[in-house]
Amino acid sequence: MNADSDDIPVTVLSGSLGAGKTTLVNHLLRNAGNLDLAVLVNDIGSVNVDADLVADGSDLEVDDGVAELSNGCICCELQDDLETAVVRLARERDFDHLLVESSGISEPAPVARLFTTTSRVAARYEIDALVTVLDTRLFLDTFAGDEVPERRGAVQPTDSDDDPDDDAADGDDRRPLSDLLIEQLEVANVVLLNKADQCDPDELEVAAELVRALQPDATTIRTAFSAIDPGRLLGVGQFDPDRLGELAGWQRALEDDHDDAHGSDHDDSHSHDRHDDHDHDHRHPDEVYGVDSFVFRAQRPFHPERFTTVLRNLPDGIVRSKGTAWVADRDVKIDIAQAGPSVRASVRGPWIDALPEIDQELYRSNRPGLEWDDDHGDRRTELVVIGTDLEERDLRSRLTECLVTDEEWNRSSALENPFPREGEEPVVLCEP
């Protein structure tokens, strides 16, 4: 953020239901000193309970200092309302900083993009930081516990909820908790490990290392009851619009592995050890708390049935798997997104080698660093796996055994295949 800018700084708060976002907003309102804050609150119900709580906890009026957006999610169906609300706030009221508290089902990236585009909003505001509030106990239970917890505070449908439009609107509310936690973490600039008082020191260290593995650039702060010095959260200038949605932990691992492997004679599925040169005193996470990552690469397609079986039976310690897979009888890039117990597959687009020759030449000329094989073009698998106490050798062996044999390759169209084709909707391979 440019400190000399006249734009109003914005902090976007995200986190699962019950993580402590509203408690944080009230804490900031009470302790901001001379800093005049405005708040926009989004809740998923038809009555915006959070907005009432924020107003009750401050000297501000709901229709003055606190704007509310109800019965929807600001990352999708309420985008227009969000734009209208924040423009109105800037027009009708003078304030120093805007807090946007998104609902527990919101993804922060679409909200942030509204403030970074050429919209009316971006002309008045500038994002200061994306802050994710974690219920640390729930976070650890989700990715390190024996059972899959339910989301706390989720509104359960009643027997009268038979409107199909309502069902569609509620669809995001039924997404696995693990999906939302990961997506909210991977774009964060600041992560609050809230409810730290409910965890022992070793658990807090594990949580901190997991956050670091998922988003290496985030600042991690431990809190109880969302209590924090406002100066550590407001005016920090940590948001970089050019890196929004980039360089999450899995992307960083893939990039680093590519740099290490470039020009080597190693097989694509081999790993490469790497230690950051800029921080010699920092020990690798796996040396301390068992958090580690590796990249699996292959230039041979997966057998769809064997690959599905592996994805549905990943070890409990794997927190995140992400990347592109080459699957037999699917001449498209298959995006694999695993977060805890949830695994989804979607079509990212065609392989360049599958395009008409004239289009291939155009794409290749615009991507000088593109790896190209004489036989298979750009078709390849690149998967990043992040987790605790990884049995890397065993998982690599299992993934390698999923690759088609020469005989299977020649008859791949006869294989059972749950993965989507081009134009088809994403497929849920595994969910809690």
Q: What CATH code is carried by the domain that includes residue 169?
A: 3.40.50.300
Q: Is residue 3 part of a domain?
A: no
Q: Which residues contact 273 (CB under 8 A, 6 or more apart)?
A: none
pLDDT tens across 310-338, in order?
Answer: 999 998 888 889 899 999 999 899 999 99
Is there a single domain that holds both residue 230 and residue 333? no
pLDDT over 60 at 145, yes or no: no
pLDDT tens across 93-134, in order?
Answer: 788 998 888 766 667 777 787 788 756 766 788 999 999 999
Average pLDDT over residues 181-206: 92
When pLDDT is cut at 50, 70 and 90, the band that residue 151 belongs to is: very low
Region of poorest pLDDT, from 81-85, 169-173, 183-187: 169-173
Is there a single domain that holds both residue 91 and residue 182? yes
Is there a single domain that holds both residue 213 and residue 280? no
CATH number of the domain encompassing residue 417: 3.30.1220.10
Is there a single domain that holds both residue 202 and residue 263? no
Is there a single domain that holds both residue 47 and residue 118? yes
Q: Is residue 2 part of a domain?
A: no
Domain count, the chain: 2
- Name the amino acid, one letter, at 49: V
What's the rounded Cα separation, in Å, for the pair 6 and 343?
Answer: 44
Is there a single domain that holds both residue 130 and residue 12? yes
What's the rounded Cα separation, in Å, for the pair 175 and 167?
Answer: 13
Q: Is residue 155 part of a domain?
A: yes
Q: 130-140 as b/e, with b when 16 or more CB fall inside 10 Å? A: bbbbbbbbbbb
Q: Is residue 233 part of a domain?
A: yes
Region of poorest pLDDT, from 96-100, 177-181, 214-218, 283-287: 283-287
Of these ranges, 26-40, 156-170, 392-406, the one predicted with the greatest mean pLDDT is 392-406
Q: Which secondary structure element, helix H or strand E, spans residue 399, and what is its range?
A: helix 392-401
pTM (2 decimals)?
Answer: 0.68
pLDDT over 90 at 60, yes or no: no
Per the structure, the complete domain to which residue 403 belongs is given by 249-430
What is the model's pLDDT at position 419?
A: 96
When pLDDT is cut at 50, 70 and 90, the band that residue 175 belongs to is: low
What is the model's pLDDT at position 233?
A: 95
Comparing CA positions, the residue from 29, 77, 18 lying closest to residue 233 is 29
Q: Is residue 140 part of a domain?
A: yes
Average pLDDT over residues 370-388: 91
Is there a single domain that holds both residue 139 and residue 235? yes
Average pLDDT over residues 421-429: 93
Q: Which of 216, 243, 270 is the last residue of a domain?
A: 243
pLDDT tens across 230-253, in order?
Answer: 999 999 999 987 766 555 666 666
Is there a single domain that holds both residue 234 and residue 275? no
What is the model's pLDDT at position 289?
A: 54
Q: Is residue 1 part of a domain?
A: no
Q: Is residue 415 part of a domain?
A: yes
The pairing of strands 8-14 and 97-101 is: parallel
Q: Choose between 388 and 253: higher pLDDT.
A: 388
What does the mean pLDDT of the chain come to? 75
Is there a single domain that holds both residue 293 and residue 418? yes
Percent of the chain with pLDDT over 70: 68
pLDDT tens across 30-45, in order?
Answer: 898 888 888 887 643 3
Is there a single domain that holds both residue 196 and residue 259? no
Q: Which secondary structure element, helix H or strand E, spans residue 93, and what is its range?
A: none
When pLDDT is cut at 50, 70 and 90, the band that residue 393 belongs to is: very high
Q: Which of 243, 275, 292 is the last residue of a domain?
A: 243
Q: Which of 243, 272, 298 is the last residue of a domain?
A: 243
Q: Is residue 132 part of a domain?
A: yes
Is there a single domain that holds both residue 184 and residue 260? no
Is there a single domain that holds both residue 82 and residue 98? yes
What is the model's pLDDT at position 278?
A: 34
Q: Which residues contact 282 (CB under 8 A, 6 or more apart)?
A: 276
